[in-house]
Amino acid sequence: MGEGNTILETSRLKIGYSSRKRKESVVAENLSLSLRSGELVCLLGPNGAGKSTLIRSLAGLEEPLGGLIKLNGRDIRLMSPKEKARLTSVVLTDPAPVGMFTAYSLVALGRHPHTRWTGSLREEDRERIDWALQVVGVEELATRQVGELSDGERQKVMIARALAQEASILILDEPTAFVDLPRRVELMRILGDLAGGVGIAVLLSSHDLELSLRCADKLWIMNSVGEIEVGAPEDLALGGKIASVFASDKIDWDGEQGGFRLRRETARFARVEGDGDVGLWTRRALTRMGYVIRSDGDESVSISFEKRDGHVVWNVTFAEGEKRFRSLDALCAWVREHLVDEAALMDSQK
């Protein structure tokens, strides 16, 4: 994806809350961020870091405590609500209006910044609504009542409404929060296609680190004191930035697996010979059971695998001999019963 035009940028931005007694509660400050057309950016961070406050501030829904936010080079404070609505569309976690709305009627609300004072839809409005429904893949839901839709269907319709708005930026706060895993993946694919294909800038906050690592062009990682690291997912992972924000005394960042693993009191070591999907899931199974996978050293167990008659067979070599298994379930059950108990006994005797 080539470098797009900068659509949104901030300078010395300070966000937070101001009470009636004029006391400021600062969430983050000195933020210099930019969002380009054709770019999918995921905002990540621990609970309470201030992700929603930043999202609402960038969307123009909360007044910043200081600094500058520009849309297409213009200070948003100098723009009318209609001008901002033509540039930025927003999907929040607030419940969608239900009432007697059909999905089509809800999507049609996105045309409000473009309709005349009567609110009547012209031919170009209807064409944009039909396009938005088609792009998100919810044409068949057009006549359904919003109250009858599932969480995933309703979220898609809300994205279609934002697209009907014909804005340059799509900002979403936790769009996958109440959606099951297949729908989360599908929504992220849709958003990625919109950024790369249609050329709009997409910014979303999320708690789904793994999915964001796989789908985002850039990450904004916000730590607990409001500092933000910006970069490609891979650069941030290799540079230790993800580990520094999310790791704790209970979990460790696994750079080779690209995810987190539970920290164990006692480390046990294993070697797994072989790659591909079987090697991946074998390593993950052993890691789940408290083993550290390495390629050399004094491992208590060594595992290889091969395919026989269309089935995978796992060969396990350990101090007392060898074992063969035809499923990871059987292998893990044996490890749990024999090797883990044996290691625990040895630890207690130290």
State pLDDT tens for residues 228-262.
999 999 999 889 898 888 877 777 777 766 777 66
How far is the C-alpha of 193 from the C-alpha of 160, rounded, in Å?
Answer: 13
| pLDDT band at 223; cut points 50, 70, 90 | very high
**225 exposure class (CB count in 10 Å sphere: 0-12, 13-18, 19+):** exposed
How far is the C-alpha of 112 from the C-alpha of 291, rounded, in Å?
Answer: 57
pLDDT, mean over the chain: 86
- Region 142-149: mean pLDDT is 91
β-bridge mates for residue 219, sequence order: 42, 231
Quick check: helix, strand or coil at residue 71? strand
State pLDDT tens for residues 96-145.
666 678 999 999 999 888 776 666 888 999 999 999 999 888 999 999 99
Considering only residues 171 and 346, tell me which one the structure prediction assigns the higher pLDDT. 171
What is the set of domains in the chain, with CATH numbers? 6-72+168-246 (3.40.50.300), 264-348 (3.30.160)
Supply the DSSP string of 274-340, one letter for each residue: --HHHHHHHHHHHHHTTEEE-SSS--SEEEEEEEETTEEEEEEEETTEEEEESSHHHHHHHIIIIII
DSSP H or E stretch at residue 225 = none
**Reported pTM:** 0.79
